[in-house]
Amino acid sequence: MGMSEMTDLQRLLHEIAAEARVTAVYTGVFTFSAETMGALAAVPRHEFVPHAEQSAAYLNIPLPIGHGQTISQPYIVALMTDLLRLESTDKALEVGAGSGYQAAVLAKLARHVHTLEIVPKLAAACRERLARLGFANVTVHTADGNAGLAQEAPFDKIMVTAAAPHVPPALVAQLKPGGRMVLPLGAPDTTQELILLEKDLTGAVTSRVVLAVRFVPLTGALEA
């Protein structure tokens, strides 16, 4: 990473920390953990955006990556990551790989990340990019995220980076007792709600609304 990117990244990290303080009244999170901020600092966002968007790589905004998909706003990446409370022993599932940026951030904190992408071209590019950048603890699967990844379940933590009208039942089933899931719920093209879902050691599930958000829709065959 060059000096220009380093300067831009440091400015971005300061903006993320400031936004966390402003939104704490809604999220309950006044300061993101050192581990979360360290993970964002360690992932070069410019490697995950299209060439045409390079000048905006370290702005605190979402960016298009093609195929109707986006790379999320860095503040939202930080918030969702922080809410998961990842441990170094965790096996995590991400639904909606996109360019691989969020998976890379998770990979800095978890033991292994399985990430699902329904668009074959995005999945192939994501797989190549993460391998080139040395993220050996991420496996990219071309799959419908609504079904999760039964062959690798259960997962300690699950993150969904596209909005569904309700929580896919397969994902709840694949979350380990004691685990956490973060996902946006709501209809396309409207403001959605970011949800933190927790499964206790008995298997009981509780959830709370964290923040109003806006994500691209989760595509595929949503299970009833």
Distance CA 94, CA 145 (A): 8
Residue among 186, 170, 215 nearest 77 (CA): 215
Helices (H), the chain: 3-27, 34-42, 74-84, 101-107, 120-132, 169-174
Strand pairing of 69-71 and 112-117? unpaired
Is 72 designated active site?
yes
In 10 A of CB 31, how many CB atoms? 12
CA angle 48, 118, 196 (to 5 degrees): 75
Distance, in Å, from the CA atom of 161 to the CA atom of 158, rounded to the nearest integer, reads: 10
Q: Which of 4, 33, 72, 207 is catalytic?
A: 72
Q: Which positions are catalytic?
A: 72
